[in-house]
Amino acid sequence: MEEIPILKSKSYSLLIHILVWVAFLLVPMLFIESSEGRERFMIMGWFLQLLMIGYFYYNYLFLIPQYLLKKRIGLYFLLLVVGLITIIAVNVSFIYLTYDLIEHRHKFDFLHSALFAVYPGIMAFALSSFVRITMEWFKNERQKKEMEAEKLSSELAFLKSQVNPHFLFNILNNICSLARKKSDETENAIIKLSQIMRYMLQDSKDEKVSLEKEVDYLQSYIELQRLRLSESVIIDFSSEGRCELLSIEPLLLIPFVENAFKHGVSYQESSAIHIRLTCQGHAISFVVENHIAKPRGGVTEQGSGIGLKNVTRRLELLYPGKHQLKISDDDNQYKVELDIQF
């Protein structure tokens, strides 16, 4: 059975940590030549090193991810100093309790013993910070590259699904029909089509666009879809709040709308698609709801979930811990609820 890569990576990381600390604990043995007092100095050295290992992971596993990476700088340094003072106090107490002769404890130098632990403590702090911050940098770079790859993959998938002959032929046929009837809607339909093409081919290259542009794109897409649908299909789209104040990654919302039109339109029964976007402060709520229509001839369309899988992955990469996506499928009613905190 093939081992899962992430588990394999964690196993290697754990093994490296163990080997490094084993080597670290052997260091005192290299500097103690005399056998006189060797055992006592070894115990004192090992105890201090164990404290330093604890301080290393205190900073590495707790302080940096919980405070430094979350920009809580003041509290981070306060807890860092408290941790250092604690290990110094513990080490001084240990040395005092294990001092060679009890009757000589009045000669014990507390200041010297305290300073003896300061330098290793600073080294443990510096090393743990360097290792953790370097790992976070590599992790962010890896996520950035993965995000760029996912974005490219998503854009190609959207482009393929939307700019396809079937979609274009339907729209162009509808525009031709409007032109023959000398309808006033002909010019508007051509403008909507050009807006869609421009947004997908030009604006979507930007890292972020105004949410208002994304809304305009959705509206143009919906209006062009209306041209090919009968009046029995109810399409309700609403946008509330100051959406122009927010920015979003392009083509992030369209897969949910596209999915609604792909599976929510029936030529045999009445259909309804409800789309609602609410902008409030630095957050948005996007809801798409549609009835699941019966496919023609009872054949279910294949590969329909690729766009949703792509956009779900993009959300995980772009807004980790800052978004909530809920998709429900109850009684042939499909509903997508997306909340994003910018």
CATH number at 192 reads 3.30.565.10
To the nearest whole number, what is the mean pLDDT of the chain?
78
Can you give the pLDDT at residue 29? 59
Q: Measured between alpha carbons, how far is 82 from 48 in angstroms, rounded to an integer?
A: 17
61-65, 145-149, 173-177, 196-200 — most confident range: 61-65
Can you give the pLDDT at residue 7? 45
Can you give the pLDDT at residue 305? 52
Q: Measured between alpha carbons, how far is 87 from 114 in angstroms, rounded to an integer?
A: 10
* For residue 1, pLDDT beyond 50: no
Stretch among 21-35, 61-75, 190-204, 295-309 having the lowest mean pLDDT: 295-309
- What is the separation of C-alpha 44 from the centre of its chain, rounded to a whole number of angstroms? 45
Residue 85 falls within a domain, yes or no? yes
Can you give the pLDDT at residue 4? 44
Last residue of a domain, one of 142, 177, 206: 142
User: In 10 A of CB 230, how many CB atoms?
Assistant: 10
Helix or strand holding residue 38 (H, E): helix 38-57
Can you give the pLDDT at residue 79? 92
51 confidence band (pLDDT: 50, 70, 90):
confident
Asked if residue 211 and residue 93 are part of one domain, the reply reads no
Q: Average pLDDT for residues 184-205, to the nearest whole number? A: 80
Q: Average pLDDT for residues 31-56, to the nearest whole number? A: 70
| DSSP label of 59 | I
Asked if residue 54 and residue 15 are part of one domain, the reply reads yes
> Which residues make Cβ contacts (< 8 Å) with residue 283, sequence separation at least 6?
339, 340, 341, 342
Please report, rounded to a whole number, the percentage of residues in the chain having pLDDT higher than 70.
75
Q: Average pLDDT for residues 34-38, to the nearest whole number? A: 52
301 confidence band (pLDDT: 50, 70, 90):
very low
| DSSP label of 233 | E
Asked if residue 259 and residue 137 are part of one domain, the reply reads no
* For residue 277, pLDDT beyond 90: yes
Stretch among 24-38, 132-146, 185-199 having the lowest mean pLDDT: 24-38
Q: Average pLDDT for residues 116-138, to the nearest whole number? A: 85
Residue 152 falls within a domain, yes or no? no
* For residue 17, pLDDT beyond 50: yes
In the numeric block, which tokens belong to residue 13? 């990381």
Range of the domain at 202: 163-341
* For residue 38, pLDDT beyond 90: no
The CA-to-CA distance between both ends of the chain, in Å, stands at 42
Q: Average pLDDT for residues 208-215, to the nearest whole number? A: 90
Asked if residue 211 and residue 134 are part of one domain, the reply reads no
Asked if residue 315 and residue 177 are part of one domain, the reply reads yes
Q: Total structural domains in the chain?
A: 2
Q: Are 213 and 195 in contact (CB under 8 A)?
A: no
Can you give the pLDDT at residue 40? 64
Can you give the pLDDT at residue 6? 46
Q: Are strands 271-280 and 323-330 parallel, antiparallel or unpaired?
A: unpaired
Can you give the pLDDT at residue 28? 58
Cα dist. 87→31, 49, 124, 205, 339 in Å?
A: 23, 11, 12, 53, 45
Helix or strand holding residue 52 (H, E): helix 38-57
Q: Measured between alpha carbons, how far is 312 from 1 in angstroms, rounded to an integer?
A: 29
* Angle in degrees, 0-180, between the axes of helices 254-264 and 110-162, rounded to the nearest 10: 40
Can you give the pLDDT at residue 339? 95
Cα dist. 4→101, 136, 146, 274, 309 in Å?
A: 56, 22, 19, 42, 21
Asked if residue 168 and residue 136 are part of one domain, the reply reads no
